Structure 1
Amino acid sequence: MQDIQDVSLFPTILTNINSTNPDLVTDAVRSVRKLLSAEHNPPIDLVIRSGLVQKLHYLLQFGTPTQAYESSWALTNIASGTSEHTKFVVENGVVHTFIVLLNSPDAQLAEQCLWGVGNIAGDTPALRDYVLSLNITEAILQMVQKSCSQSLLRNIAWTISNMCRGTPPPNFKYIKPLFPVLCKLVTAHVPMTDEQVIDTLWAFSFITENANAFEEEIFKEFQKNGIIERLFVFLSGPNTTQVPAFRTLGNLLSGSDMITETLLQYGILNHLIAFTNHSKEGFVKDAYWCLSNVTSGNVSQIQRVIDSKIFPKIFEASVTGSTAVRTEALWVVINAVAGGSRAQVNYLVSIDLAKCFGLSLEFVLSKTNIQSNFFDALLSVFNKFHGEQLETVCMTFKQHGWDNYFEQLLNAKTSCTNIIEEASDIYYQSKSSKATINGWNFSPASTPPANSDDVNVRLSNLRL
């Protein structure tokens, strides 16, 4: 049969695909596949209405090797259409057949079936979970035990990435056995620009995005397989690897203090500081997001950020950056104030925390998602000090216009009025005093160590 350029010969295809002549059947299946491979407007609905999905599924299971391969390709193209098209393929039982054939001795057929499964898993979280429930994890583990072509490895990486993507996250029991596979895919001797590496990194990003109770287990797997070191290497690579590697590390930083501490020991802080100077805003925003995860940790971790001398730049970004950058930079400051020791907050005050907070007020009042934490942090500043030390802090705030700021805030209608009133009461009741009291030097040059006077006042609902 001649190649089909349009649907004019579709009646002939329908006749031949049901022929008893295997050559005519093969030719018809190939023609259907070519129709469905059209770059623009493939006739998926016509194929479905004609009952060909059921016929293609039959040939996938019982046809000749060529018929099975062409059918798998055609069914994959149908599943690549709209969600309704994908659903129709699923409802006809094709997913189960695809998974069974992943371990077909016909490598070409197995790879095409994997492509089909990957398409379906990537459609919706519900279909992803359905695919996972059909034991695809075990099928992939069996696949990789054989000799795999480079194209198959790329396909495996892409499929696993789709299996990990989406909200709510997949059941971790299906993903955990695939860690050795993912680790091999990302440590293989292939260029970092290869799709195999890129898709594997995205899988890591998806896995760590919703790690929840499994964060420690995931991190240990990363450490055991040398993934942490590789992630830092990818930070220096092209944009295609930088983005998922950076997001993976950022997700890990939102985990426990132990994970954060380990990443700090790996030297992540220097990378984060470097990314605050990136030419692309997305990286700058994510750098401050990562830093906010560090400052939401313990006093020792906050001190690491202080010692890096990055806070003046964070203050500047929280005032002059884009909306996204300002938000993330403010979270760095808010978390540091909330969880920092008195000495650490003293340092932040000495480098113009009052000015930073004052110039951020208008922005904060326009962002309901940060207001409560911001004003809790403001109150926390005053609550960390007493007596003459508090007087000195209040004097510093007064010098940066906080008489006027509090007057405006008290006249404004916000959901944080009670917090603002409490902070202003402390502020106004404190007496103005000297700039240096009892050894508390508010010179910008001072960088106090974390010490035993840690008040460690935490805000509720800290951003992680």
Structure 2
Amino acid sequence: MQVQRRKSFKTNRLFDFDQLFQNRQRRNVEIRRQLREEIISKHRNLSPLKEKSFSNEPKLIVRNLKIENLSEIAQGIYSNHVEKQLISMRKFRKLLAEERVPPIQQIIDTGVIPKFVEFLQSNSQLLKIESSWALTNILAGNIEHIKVVIDSGALPIFVQLLQNENSNEIKEHAIWAIGNISSDEMFCDMVFCSGALESLLNILNQIDENSSLIPTLARTICNLCRVKVSEDEWYWLSLALSRMIYSDDDDVLYSTCWALSYLSDREIDCNQQKHSIINTGICPRLVELMIHKNFNVQFPALKCVKNISAGSHDQTQAILHCQALKILRDLLVSTKCSIRKEACLIVSTIAKRAVNQIQAIVDAGIIPLLINLIRNSDFKTKKEAIWAICNIIKYSYSQPNSFRQIINLGCIQPMIDMLDCKDTEIILTILEVIQIILKFGEFAKTPNNRDNEYSLYIEEIGGKEKIYDLQYHKKDEIYHIAYDIIDKYFGDGFEEGFEEVNNFTFRHNNNNNNNPFTGFQFFKTTYSF
């Protein structure tokens, strides 16, 4: 998404494509992990089984079970009697479901996992439910735990349950299990090769929109969207998501919006995939979700809109046709800083990708709001507001009337004020845009007025001194561009009072320090249930 933008303002300035992508991935999971414990707890304590089915058994109090009793419980697993197997299986399941820190490794060490997998094909429905439930919770553990279950042959059996099982309870556990397997990207290819995607989509096509299976399907499909998929898989995934995006369930919308944001966030050779999303007709719905009352739905919807608008001109237009600018205007005054920041990113992208719409951005009243954010918001939001303003100015240069109108809205003052910040990327970007403004001022001179109105204004508000001081900056690019601005547009004014200016030696620092701004810290997007 950011390729062109990076070329515009961040070229060769310590930005690495792979690192940026990994940062976004890590950031995404940091947000999603806030709900992970709640999701796992919810599933571990699901009660699809009726307790009256075991009315002849004494009530099991799991908290009184000790880890040292696991070997004794395991003996029942190896019994030849289904009733004893069921009692032991149920004890293991409750240990996994009700313990705050479930003893997954201790249970694995008893060697019962192959028996759990064997029970998935049992003639007893209750034994199937208990074993699938227990395995699903084991798969919510770490990578090593997942490997043990996979090595025991569970994945193809879970896929068979999706295809052949009539019980929705067992299907749901199978879907959860596959979702947990695909929570780590290293296992996703294995899931695709098993035919699980086709089985999941078949289930989605067979159930109605109110089915209890849809939230679990949405979460599992979301995990599968985090990796690179084939063109055919893209097509089928986008169709499935285009159905779930109209759900009224916040959990379904949460997973669906994140899935779409992953699918649209492939920056290399991704236009075809983005067109695939657009062709499903979901852009109006995504724009609508930008103002959803639930932040956990709103935020990934914004990311998806940002990714789509960063595609081709037609993709950006598809977003604009949904009245996105009107909504963005409201989001720029949101009380949540992450929402304001994402809104700035979308405005910046639109300015770059749809140059013919810059006047629409002006008419929507967005620029004064961006200026206000630069003056009064947190630093991260200020940074994105600066990118947005700079893109708007740069790409309106070919439209003199719009360009002058934008500048006259008061863009110069906040940019000059931001030259005091410590972020070299912001300083360099502002200097580049100031050059563009001053160049426009030179061309705008008339025979009756030989002054550059913008250089006069910048000098009046103290910008000349700040730019002059930046000639001493330790970053080569900054002091070279600052020198160029002073030399071309303010040279005469600074020659007075500086007798040795012509002999001035600029300080060169060959040890270019890395930009202190390292970007957002994102985690790999993991989704265990």
Which bin holds the TM-score, normalised by the shorter protein?
0.7 to 0.9
Comparing 299-308 with 209-218, which one deviates more in the overlay? 209-218
* Equivalent of residue 229 in structure 1, options 261, 284, 287: 284
Note if 1:72 corresponds to 2:127.
no
Identity fraction in percent:
23
Note if 1:256 corresponds to 2:312.
yes
8 Å CA contact retained: 1:36, 1:77: yes
Note if 1:349 corresponds to 2:395.
no
Note if 1:121 corresponds to 2:179.
no
Structure 1 equivalent of residue 448 of structure 2: none
Structure 2 equivalent of residue 360 of structure 1: 418
Q: Which runs of 5+ in 1 are unaligned?
A: 433-462
8 Å CA contact retained: 2:182, 2:224: yes
Root mean square deviation of aligned Cα: 2.6
1:65-120: CA deviation from partner (whole Å, max 9, x where unpaired): 32222111111111112233223223333223222221122322222111111112
Which amino acid is the alignment partner of residue 92 of structure 1? S
1:146-183: CA deviation from partner (whole Å, max 9, x where unpaired): 34561111211111112123xx6455543421222222
Structure 1 equivalent of residue 233 of structure 2: 174
Superposed, which structure 2 residues align to 1:328-343 within 5 Å?
A: 328-341=384-397, 343=400
Find the aligned partners of 1:426 and 1:85 in 2 and give their Cα distance: 66
8 Å CA contact retained: 1:98, 1:116: yes
Find the aligned partners of 1:403 and 1:186 in 2 and give their Cα distance: 52
Q: CA deviation at 1:220?
A: 4.7
Which amino acid is the alignment partner of residue 104 of structure 1? N
Structure 2 equivalent of residue 425 of structure 1: 487
8 Å CA contact retained: 1:4, 1:31: no
Structure 2 equivalent of residue 278 of structure 1: 334
Which amino acid is the alignment partner of residue 417 of structure 2? L
Q: CA deviation at 1:269?
A: 0.3
Which amino acid is the alignment partner of residue 418 of structure 1? H
Note if 1:327 corresponds to 2:383.
yes
Q: Would the alpha carbon gap of residues 142 and 297 (structure 1) be closer, same or farther in structure 2, given more than 3 Å must change?
A: closer
Superposed, which structure 2 residues align to 1:13-162 within 5 Å?
A: 13-62=73-122, 64-107=124-167, 108-122=169-183, 124-147=184-207, 150-162=211-223
Find the aligned partners of 1:370 and 1:63 in 2 and give their Cα distance: 66
Q: CA deviation at 1:44?
A: 0.9
Q: Would the alpha carbon gap of residues 177 and 331 (structure 1) be closer, same or farther in structure 2, given more than 3 Å must change?
A: same
Find the aligned partners of 2:286 and 2:474 in 1 and give their Cα distance: 46
8 Å CA contact retained: 2:78, 2:85: yes
Q: CA deviation at 1:385?
A: 4.3
TM-score (norm 1): 0.84
Note if 1:291 corresponds to 2:337.
no
TM-score (norm 2): 0.74
Find the aligned partners of 2:428 and 2:230 in 1 and give their Cα distance: 34
Q: Would the alpha carbon gap of residues 358 and 198 (structure 1) be closer, same or farther in structure 2, given more than 3 Å must change?
A: same
Find the aligned partners of 1:216 and 1:306 in 2 and give their Cα distance: 31
Find the aligned partners of 1:424 and 1:14 in 2 and give their Cα distance: 81
Q: CA deviation at 1:221?
A: 3.8
8 Å CA contact retained: 2:284, 2:319: no
1:300-332: CA deviation from partner (whole Å, max 9, x where unpaired): 122221222322231231232101110110001
Structure 2 equivalent of residue 186 of structure 1: 245
Structure 2 equivalent of residue 245 of structure 1: 301
Q: Which runs of 5+ in 2 are unaligned?
A: 1-56, 446-450, 495-518, 520-529
- RCO greater where, 1 or 2, for CA within 8 Å and sep 6 or more? 2
Q: Would the alpha carbon gap of residues 131 and 415 (structure 1) be closer, same or farther in structure 2, given more than 3 Å must change?
A: farther
Find the aligned partners of 2:100 and 2:334 in 1 and give their Cα distance: 38
Structure 1 equivalent of residue 261 of structure 2: 205
8 Å CA contact retained: 2:419, 2:427: no
Comparing 126-135 with 245-254, which one deviates more in the overlay? 126-135
Find the aligned partners of 1:210 and 1:357 in 2 and give their Cα distance: 32
Find the aligned partners of 1:103 and 1:415 in 2 and give their Cα distance: 63
Find the aligned partners of 2:413 and 2:368 in 1 and give their Cα distance: 11
1:144 alignment partner, SS class: helix
8 Å CA contact retained: 2:331, 2:340: yes
